[in-house]
Structure 1
Amino acid sequence: MTSRRIMYYLQAFKILALGYWRSEQKWKAYGILAVVLILNLASVFLTVLVNDWYKEFWDVLQAYEFDSFWYLVGKFSLIAAIYIAIGVYSVYLQQLLQIKWREWLTDKYLVRWMENRAYYKLKLMGKDMDNPDQRISEDINQFVALTLSLTIGLVRQLITLVAFTVILWNLSGIITVPIGSYEFTIYGYMVWLSLVYSIVGTYLTHKVGKALINLNYEQQKYEADFRFAMMRVRENTESIAFYRGEKPELENFLTRFKIVIGNFRDIMTRQKILNGFTAGYGQLAIIIPLLLAAPRWFAKEVQVGWIMQVSNAFGQVQGAMSYFVDAYTTIAQWCSVVRRLDGFNRHVSEALDLKSDLMIDNASNIKVGIENVDVFLPNKNKDVLIKNCTIDLMKYQSLLIMGASGVGKSTLLRTLAGLWSYAKGNVYLPKEEEFLFLPQRPYLPLGSLRQAISYPVVEEVISEKYSDEEIKEILIACKLENLVDKLDIVDDWSRILSLGEQQRIAFARILLYKPKFVFLDEATSALDETLEGNLYDMLKTYLPDTRIISIAHRSSLICKHQAILKLKEKGCWEIHE
């Protein structure tokens, strides 16, 4: 990994992590983290006691001191019990910190994704990252869990390194190495050997395993794409069934799954090589201290307890120095998660920074409409859809927007709603609660039918303003008599109701909110002409002061509107009253 790449991950980590540790929850987080670190410090101290216990225990065995044997068994049992208790609470508190950090991060990411319609602008910019839902739900959880695991693990290994380096240094003693006519004296030679061994192992591990970073990154993406393809079928079951599209959908599933398996096989191959190397590396570390201690044992300079203490101390020092070898797979996963979350951050920031020359007045009480508005496409040439358009919507009780497909009817409505950033001019709208936009395909949230009708207003607000009888009367007015007894049934109503019924649910929202202006983007396209006409007549009856701006292709709606705005090619337009 190059220094430039390391700096990238460190910078991305700083952006991802520091927010929480500087937030209003920081002192509680620091408190929990401090307790976890103290418990890990205590755990290392107990490990040092166990290391001393090894020498005592094996020396007692060698001397056949039966009375001391049971004393040392009891001593070990006490140390082990304390060690287990510390380990349990350390893990528990680490998970508690993980939950709090994840909760804070998820809240911030959801807010950023929804802020200023960033989720929508990402698609307009053509920079909609793959599966933002996975990045928020899974990647944040993995980032927090892996960061805490790696950080606390590193701190623990540093404490272990300091404690056992002193022990191993004292146990190693001095070795004299003759080179020609010279003799070199090395103090704490086992410590130096452990250092060299760990450096070589870390370097070789990185050379073997560095490909895992990209492979893990791609694996997360391919898994999410495969899951999304199946979710798309679930959301469009009827359309696929009518087309008899099972075969192409199945082929699509298998193709995506083949990519998942292919990439996973690459991970398996690389992981196999890495596991083989790290297993050999770990096994060799067991025999090295025994080989180094053997000469003194056979010279009858030391007892077996000394050998066991040296072996354990060497293993602790070597394990601490080899932290990156043992944690390399986890580090590779962490790097891939950081890349994905950093990409999410950058794309959302670009969407939020997207500037528009369109001036929107959201609280105009004098006029409603557009003034000298140009609308263009977000392509390289910025092709003009609508040129220098000025419309005073206060002038018309109802206005019908018509034109051939692709001339910019829906885009004009998006511009009025403030969704389309590729425009310039002035837009005047009343206060937000005084207008309502209905897209061609209504959105029905998961939940009860009452929630679906009241969307996007919170259900409790609607319940306070309207009784069940009033809501039922509205459903009957929208020709939805079959739903009046199902207000509190929770289900996926977008799957249960036909598109025509969903469009009538949207009209029910108009009667609930009673907006001064309603904008309909082919909001009756799934209805027959008779029912469509009845709904428009109903709006005029129930809401005579509401102004209606519609987009439609049917000529049958011309008689329902006071004026017609015709959009033509090359940005031209005209109004017929």
Structure 2
Amino acid sequence: MNRFNLTVVKRFWAIAKLYWLGNEKKGANALLVLLGVLLLANTQVKVFLNTIQGELISALSARDSARFWQGVVIALGGIIISGFLNSGYGYLRETIGIYWRRWLTDRFLNQYFSDRAFYELSNFNQEIDNPDQRIAENVASFCQQSIQFFVNIIESIFVVIAFSFILWSISINLVLALLIYSILAYSITIGFYGRKLTQLHLNQLRKEADFRFGLVRIRENAESIAFYNGTSQEANKIKLLFNEVFNNFKRLILWSELYLNIFKYPFGNLTLILPAVILGNQILIGKLEVGKVTEAMGAFGSVAFSVNLIMYQFEIFTKFAASIDRLYIFYEYLKQPRKETANKKIDIVKDNRLAVENLTLETPNYQKTLFKNLSVELQPGQGLLIMGESGSGKTSLLRALAGLWNSGTGVIFRPELEEMLFLPQRPYMILGTLRDQLIYPNAKVDVSDEELRQILHRVNLSNLAERFGGFDVEKDWSYVLSLGEQQRLAFARILVTKPKYAILDEATSALDVNNEENLYRLLLETGTTFVSVGHRPNLKKFHQLIISVSLPVSSNL
């Protein structure tokens, strides 16, 4: 079990040190010190109030009215001060947590988008599931719960030190009983319940994420599912995913709410009677005031709770440990350079031309050769049309041009990706305004509303802006526009951003012939060098070069 704890601590610190030793460490640590000061002050007030409580009980037992009412006034003052201190450190704790989350989220997002790691995760890595959940939920949980645990630990240390002196001053037997009690609580809780609860929480996080992802896929593919009449299959699959959530949660609550609580509550409530048992004889023979029992019970309970914080919050701790595990695996993946393989790779040379020399392209797993020894070069303003049967590797060549696939041999000469615009068959409609759609992916394009209207007119979307209330209205464009309208809107991006090179993967497949030919005529007018994947014979007249790709063959590599 010690090995288990050490692993959690190492993984926690590997992520935590990024912030606390990073570029914001001065401000973060200053807030942390201030938080510690407030916690120390609050602990002193707790000790003071515990002592006053004992004084009140002693005053009542002695029927000393002046002593009693004086204690009440003093206690009220302490309660007010305690309220201010608790509010202050609670606000400060949450503030530190949200600043930490902002920094760490930004760090993960930068790595997630660096070298297009998001694409590799989505297409080639099945071990790291639901990166969206890890960034959105696990980072939040990590930061907020870390600060909460830190506060609890620091407060516990202050409480143990302060109240232990009180217990020692009353009876050394109280300290010895507390030591034995704490050792038993820690050993049983960690030793018996630790691994099981952590694994169950880890499984629950994964299964909840899979269930949510399944629901998202249904929303995103609702029309296709409806057309296929696949309602029954999809419903059964979602119900199966939820059953896994349900069954794991049943096991989780069995362990956390039944097995753990059977031990935790009775053992925790021993603090209510142990001080009275230990001091009872001295009270009965008159060696101690009655109020000392109340004071000892308060101090004993506070120290016992602080020392055994792991027992009282063990279910939360194991959930936190599972979250650390998911976030650490994600962090380790993102911080590593993209994997280099021993297999042959395509060389990409930055150049002011678009060409391939002796290109042999294979699937990423090197199990199929899509085509061999392809050589072609485009002159400025020329168009290349790639035709062939479905599954022959046409789109794969575009992936190679974009640098997404590099399995194979040969050389690709191409400019920087910023000079190229890729239009897939199903356009990507970003979250944003109509203006955002038109200038994507270049957010710095300066173009007037009138220019945008003229461009929309040229792609046969004349009334689009007026239809939705202007260029600055946000809509779910993938929902409110038909696929044909989306393809024309995406094509308008070429006219807006004016790239030197355009790559079109069946980018006009949802259009009729007249609209398709109109768009290609516009493309020729721009002087853009372009590569198209398509099936229709009428596209040939818009391209100077044509490649026909056959079905792939098995590779012996």
- Which interval holds the TM-score relative to the shorter structure? over 0.9
TM norm structure 2: 0.94
**Counterpart amino acid of 2:6?**
M
TM norm structure 1: 0.90
Q: How many residues align?
A: 547
1:368 equivalent to 2:367? Answer no
Aligned residue for 1:554? 536
Shift of 1:119: 0.3
Shift of 1:266: 1.4
CA distance in 2, matches of 1:515, 1:208: 60
**Could you report, residue by residue, the CA deviation over 1:261-319 in whole angstroms, capped at 9, with x for unpaired residues?**
22211111112221232111111121111111111122222220122222222222222
Aligned residue for 1:455? 440
Aligned residue for 2:389? 404
Which of the residues 295, 304, 307 maps onto 2:290?
304
**Could you report, residue by residue, the CA deviation over 1:511-533 in whole angstroms, capped at 9, with x for unpaired residues?**
11222221111111112233222
CA distance in 2, matches of 1:120, 1:19: 25
Shift of 1:357: 3.3
1:359 equivalent to 2:347? Answer yes
Correspondences of 1:72-471 after superposition (within 5 Å): 72-127=71-126, 129-172=128-171, 188-206=172-190, 207-208=192-193, 210-272=195-257, 273-350=259-336, 352-354=338-340, 357-362=345-350, 364-365=351-352, 367-379=353-365, 381-394=366-379, 397-458=382-443, 461-462=444-445, 464=446, 466-471=447-452
The 3-state SS of whatever aligns with 1:372 is strand
Pair 305,400 (structure 1): closer, same or farther in 2 beyond 3 Å: same
Shift of 1:2: 4.6
Contact 2:386–2:549 (CA under 8 A) maintained in structure 1: yes
Shift of 1:209: 5.1
**Counterpart amino acid of 2:456?**
L
Shift of 1:373: 2.5
Shift of 1:504: 0.8
Contact 1:371–1:426 (CA under 8 A) maintained in structure 2: yes
Contact 1:444–1:455 (CA under 8 A) maintained in structure 2: no
**Counterpart amino acid of 2:519?**
L
Contact 1:32–1:97 (CA under 8 A) maintained in structure 2: yes
Aligned residue for 2:500? 516
Aligned residue for 1:479? 460
Pair 390,11 (structure 1): closer, same or farther in 2 beyond 3 Å: farther
CA distance in 2, matches of 1:293, 1:23: 52
CA distance in 1, matches of 2:312, 2:285: 35
Shift of 1:396: 7.5
The 3-state SS of whatever aligns with 1:421 is coil
Aligned residue for 1:44? 43
Pair 256,489 (structure 1): closer, same or farther in 2 beyond 3 Å: same
CA distance in 2, matches of 1:144, 1:395: 52
Segment drifting more, 190-199 vs 107-116: 190-199
Aligned residue for 2:490? 506
The 3-state SS of whatever aligns with 1:357 is coil
**Counterpart amino acid of 1:493?**
W
**Could you report, residue by residue, the CA deviation over 1:394-416 in whole angstroms, capped at 9, with x for unpaired residues?**
27711111222222211111111
Contact 1:396–1:563 (CA under 8 A) maintained in structure 2: no
Contact 1:354–1:421 (CA under 8 A) maintained in structure 2: no
**Could you report, residue by residue, the CA deviation over 1:102-149 in whole angstroms, capped at 9, with x for unpaired residues?**
000000111110111000012343336222111111111100111111
Which of the residues 529, 554, 565 maps onto 2:547?
565
**Counterpart amino acid of 1:169?**
W
The 3-state SS of whatever aligns with 1:548 is strand
CA distance in 2, matches of 1:281, 1:558: 82
Contact 2:364–2:405 (CA under 8 A) maintained in structure 1: no
Pair 437,571 (structure 1): closer, same or farther in 2 beyond 3 Å: farther
| Runs of 5+ consecutive residues of structure 2 not aligned to the other structure | none
Segment drifting more, 549-558 vs 136-145: 549-558
CA distance in 2, matches of 1:349, 1:421: 21
Segment drifting more, 493-502 vs 342-351: 342-351
**Counterpart amino acid of 1:457?**
N
The 3-state SS of whatever aligns with 1:481 is coil
Pair 433,284 (structure 1): closer, same or farther in 2 beyond 3 Å: closer
CA distance in 2, matches of 1:430, 1:311: 76
The 3-state SS of whatever aligns with 1:520 is strand
Percent of residue pairs bearing the same amino acid type: 36
Pair 25,432 (structure 1): closer, same or farther in 2 beyond 3 Å: same
CA distance in 1, matches of 2:330, 2:301: 42
CA distance in 2, matches of 1:446, 1:128: 28
**Could you report, residue by residue, the CA deviation over 1:476-529 in whole angstroms, capped at 9, with x for unpaired residues?**
111112314232321100111111111111110111122222111111111223
| Runs of 5+ consecutive residues of structure 1 not aligned to the other structure | 173-187, 573-577
Structure 1: 4+ residue segments shifted above 6 A = none
Shift of 1:16: 0.8
CA distance in 2, matches of 1:388, 1:395: 23
**Could you report, residue by residue, the CA deviation over 1:320-377 in whole angstroms, capped at 9, with x for unpaired residues?**
2212111211210110110110121133245634468333233x23x32122333212
Shift of 1:80: 0.9
Segment drifting more, 118-127 vs 102-111: 118-127
Contact 1:434–1:515 (CA under 8 A) maintained in structure 2: yes
